[in-house]
Structure 1
């Protein structure tokens, strides 16, 4: 079936902008993380929750875009559209990671010196598919399922959620979907509160523990977002982008809750944010109105930049982490010029990737996949 006959719906411009805000905070999180002495004192302490926000936003957008189109859409047609949207930057991010791999020389990654070129190429080609590599194929030493571009793990779970939606969960009634989401929320809450780490981090290693974390982090927000797209009745809210951006930043920049003595409090905070605050932010964002051309341009720029930034920034972060690890004891006050340089480079790389690679490749794929 020619899925192009489906046409496109208007975007929620404010939600596009919020995706960009979250992506920027993710970059800051990855720049401050190597300077922290533990998970308790990172300056951007909850930046990793942006991934959970992405999952919820994705479920909302997928429901809005596809729920009423299945009389004209097949499973393969749906996957082709998702492939066209997601996969070009997956390939690009893995390629950039492979190009920079041998140049991220640091004692923190002793395996780099032992990796033959053929193995690097094999890992890169597997990375193109987003299939996770086994621990025996780890070439960096961080036990990542995608050691050339760490963030690929979340796209792996994004695809799982999309496939589950297309295979049948889209057919659930609103009541059944609400029950399913409530059950997933209970699982998420239990995991967050009882987890020995006191948080929901994880999902990037091919083992039972991380697969459980990845599924737990994906299922509730994605299908809660789907439910929200069905039942929410947006109203007109003034300055929604500003309020949503501030609330999202407050959630992600919040210092660690409870400290080392009460880890469960932090898990409670994170589950509260994922289960209640993130849906509220998406609802307010969906209710917002873009009132000025400047606001429209800001939201469009942030929305366009968000996915390329997320999928390419870690290529530069690897260099930054290597530099930090080679300067033991360096403080944020000493490292900020290099962090700012890395951040600026990530923005430039993302914009160049968008204009010179992602948009042209997606346009080519749209023609080829008709």
Structure 2
């Protein structure tokens, strides 16, 4: 495998795609067979895989490249350009839905109130909506992770500039503080978003940075032993997430640190499965899947209520098998919309930002 800062960890990317699908399953309001499984009920924890992985790959790509304020500025612009265009698209979609609610009054929800307030539009545009400035999630709820990760990027750039040789250890201190804050003060521990989102993200992100600095120095198993370790890591992570509740959920970040260490080297047979082009492609679509799914589910619920498909709080057609088929169809539709958003918005925006921030030849 390559060891340059441009290395792409494809097995980890594929796992990110799987995690995005599991987050969608957690949010899917359909009375399917799997809806009440403990594993699905706790799948909000897979967001923490995103934080640890982000710290790992950001440290791998940029820890040795931020030498000056100009480098740090270029880094921030590039990161902003990676997450903001798709965030802007989905924010615009939600605002458009609210304008339609204002004009056509198609349900009883008062437009532009509470989590859909005018002021929250501006905090979302600035990516500060999850910095404990609102008492609830706003607009495109899942975008809280972008807000929290944006704070991590700012801290990362500052630490690398000020203490390039010690930033990982300073980050470890911040990670410990973040974890302690979550376990001590977050009302639902790791199921925290708008209030303790930044400590939760810092906890995972900077453990990911530390892992990146250590992973090449830790001996890794090869061949059959690596395969056994990979299978064990996946099984352990699934069991933990399936049963973890209360304060112990804070340990999920450590579970993902181990998982990423195991799969970063891609030494076992399970890594080779994850390297399949279909799964790698799913990983590349994962950000778009994560960003578009809540808007689609919101519109779906509005339509379902109009058609009396929601007897209580979930869509239910009276047949759990029919519910399963409907849920699978919604998954397919979400992925299809995500692919369009990825190709028409996410990729062109990334290419444009990359051109703008490409260092000029001397």
Task: Provide TM-score, normalisation by structure 2.
Answer: 0.76
1:16–1:300 CA contact under 8 A, matched in 2: yes
2:349 is aligned, of 348, 356, 361, to 361
Q: Separation in 1 of the partners of 2:100 and 2:148?
A: 29
1:21–1:245 CA contact under 8 A, matched in 2: no
| Cα deviation, residue 241, structure 1 | 6.8
* Equivalent residue, structure 1, for 2:246: 267
1:156 is aligned, of 147, 151, 159, to 147
**Most deviating of 63-72 and 240-249:** 240-249
1:22 is aligned, of 19, 30, 55, to 19
Q: Separation in 1 of the partners of 2:100 and 2:39?
A: 28
Q: Separation in 1 of the partners of 2:240 and 2:282?
A: 19
Matched, 1:128 2:125: yes
Alignment of 1:186-201 (within 5 A): 188-189=179-180, 191-192=182-183, 196-197=187-188, 199-201=189-191
Q: Separation in 1 of the partners of 2:177 and 2:31?
A: 34
**Most deviating of 149-158 and 286-295:** 286-295
2:177–2:199 CA contact under 8 A, matched in 1: no
Gaps of 5+ in 2: none
**Most deviating of 340-349 and 178-187:** 178-187
Q: Separation in 2 of the partners of 1:57 and 1:135?
A: 24
**Most deviating of 345-354 and 127-136:** 127-136
Aligned-partner SS, 1:352: helix
Matched, 1:228 2:225: no
Alignment of 1:208-357 (within 5 A): 210=195, 213-233=196-216, 235=220, 237=222, 238-239=226-227, 246-252=235-241, 254-255=242-243, 257=244, 266-274=245-253, 276-289=254-267, 295-322=275-302, 327-329=310-312, 330=314, 333=320, 335-357=323-345
Aligned-partner SS, 1:48: helix
Q: Separation in 1 of the partners of 2:304 and 2:40?
A: 17
Describe the shift of the 1:170–1:228 C-alpha distance in structure 2 as closer, same or farther (beyond 3 A): farther
Describe the shift of the 1:123–1:71 C-alpha distance in structure 2 as closer, same or farther (beyond 3 A): closer
Q: Separation in 1 of the partners of 2:182 and 2:130?
A: 25
* Equivalent residue, structure 1, for 2:65: 69
Deviations 1:93-145 (A, max 9, x none): 2123233446689x9x844x4449xx988755653332429999x9xxx932x
What's the Cα RMSD here? Answer: 3.9
1:57–1:222 CA contact under 8 A, matched in 2: yes
Aligned length, in residue pairs = 331
Q: Separation in 2 of the partners of 1:122 and 1:196?
A: 25
| Cα deviation, residue 35, structure 1 | 5.8
Q: Separation in 2 of the partners of 1:288 and 1:63?
A: 19
Aligned-partner SS, 1:354: helix
Describe the shift of the 1:217–1:125 C-alpha distance in structure 2 as closer, same or farther (beyond 3 A): closer
Aligned-partner SS, 1:29: helix
| Cα deviation, residue 359, structure 1 | 1.1
Describe the shift of the 1:289–1:350 C-alpha distance in structure 2 as closer, same or farther (beyond 3 A): farther
Alignment of 1:72-221 (within 5 A): 74-101=71-98, 110-111=108-109, 113-115=110-112, 124=121, 127-132=124-129, 143-144=136-137, 146-147=138-139, 149-168=140-159, 171-172=162-163, 177-178=168-169, 181=172, 184-185=175-176, 188-189=179-180, 191-192=182-183, 196-197=187-188, 199-204=189-194, 210=195, 213-221=196-204
Deviations 1:19-63 (A, max 9, x none): 11111111101115x769xx9976612111122221111111111
Gaps of 5+ in 1: 1-6, 205-209, 258-265
Q: Separation in 1 of the partners of 2:118 and 2:180?
A: 40
Q: Separation in 1 of the partners of 2:132 and 2:11?
A: 40
